[in-house]
Amino acid sequence: MTFEKATIQDISTLTDLRIAYLQEDLGDITDADLELIKTSLPFYYEKHLNKDLMVYVARNEDDIVSCAFLLIVEKPMSPSFITGKTGTVLNVYTKPEYRGRGYSKRLMTMMLEDAKAQDVSVIELKSTDEGYSLYKSVGFEDARAKYHNMKIVLE
C-alpha cells in the first residue's frame, strides 16, 4: 500500500470516490444532481488540486482505495487562527472492502503533518458517528463555541 498526495492523473478516480462518499453519506442523489457532480468535479479538481485542495490517498497498486481531502482557506488573521490559514477536512472515505485496516488514520496523520508544515492554524471537520473515534484518535476535539452553526442554501 502506498500513501501519497493525489495528482492530476487521479481526477477521474477522485470524482468516483467523491460520488461514492456522497451516496453513502446522503443516500439517494437525484439523477440531475449526480450528472452535474460528475461533469463539474473534474474541472474543480483541475483548478484546485494541490493548490488549496490537498487530497491524500492510499493506493493498492494503481487503485486508490482510501482518500481524505483538506481544503485550505486563508482568512484575515485572528487569535483563533493566528496564521490566517484554516483547513476543512472533507470526504474521508475508504472503499468498503478495505475498511478497518487503518488507512484513513494514516491519511489523516499525513494530512495533519502536511498542514502543520504549511502553517495551517486550525483544522475543522464535521464527523459522522462512524468517523468520530478516528478523528479523536488523531487529536481532534469536540468544538465548543459561543457561536451557532448556521447556513443558508442559495439556489
Q: What is the pLDDT of residues 123-145, one digit of tens each?
A: 999 999 999 999 999 999 998 88
Could you name the CATH architecture of 2-137? 3-Layer(aba) Sandwich (3.40)
Ramachandran angles phi, psi of 68, nearest 5°: -150, 130
Question: pLDDT tens digits, residue range 20-38?
Answer: 999 999 988 999 999 999 9
Which of 55, 51, 74 has the alpha carbon at shortest distance from 12?
55
Q: How far is residue 69 from each of residues 17, 33, 153, 155, measured CA to CA in Å? A: 11, 21, 23, 25
pTM for the model: 0.93
pLDDT digits (tens, 9 = 90+) for 54-103: 999 999 999 999 999 999 999 999 999 999 999 999 999 999 999 999 99
